[in-house]
């Protein structure tokens, strides 16, 4: 579960109504941003174990790290949108 999902649940428990626009924005951000990035990262992680070239492995590890940073950045921004 992402931080923005936890924050969203917390707001709903507090009785805060989430607008339809924000709800659509959050779903689109997840489906169009976070999920595709995570799938790409997972694919690169699975490729790492199959590759023997150290340079390629280093490159893929760097890409996975960047993807993780992007997902974290998106999650933080969605938390701000909920606040």
Q: Convert the pLDDT of each residue in 69-78 to its tens digit.
A: 999 999 999 9
Full-prediction pTM beyond 0.95?
A: no
For the stretch 13-69, pLDDT in tens is 999 988 999 989 999 999 999 999 999 999 999 998 888 888 999 999 999 999 999
Cα–Cα distances (Å) from 40 to 19, 21, 23, 25, 82, in that order, read 31, 28, 25, 22, 26
Q: Name the more confident of 31 and 1.
A: 31
Alpha helices in 14-53 (DSSP H): 20-29, 35-48
Please report the pLDDT score of residue 1 as a whole number: 79
Phi, psi of 19 (to 5 degrees): -65, 155
Name the band, by pLDDT with cuts 50, 70 and 90, for residue 5.
very high
């Amino acid at each position: 579960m992402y931080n923005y999902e936890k924050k969203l649940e917390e707001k709903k428990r507090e009785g805060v109504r989430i607008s339809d626009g924000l709800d659509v924005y959050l779903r689109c951000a997840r489906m169009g941003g976070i999920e595709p990035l995570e799938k790409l990262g997972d694919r690169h992680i699975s490729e790492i174990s199959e590759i023997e070239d150290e340079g390629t492995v280093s490159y893929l590890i760097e890409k996975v790290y960047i993807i993780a940073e992007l997902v974290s950045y998106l999650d933080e921004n969605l938390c701000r949108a909920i606040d």
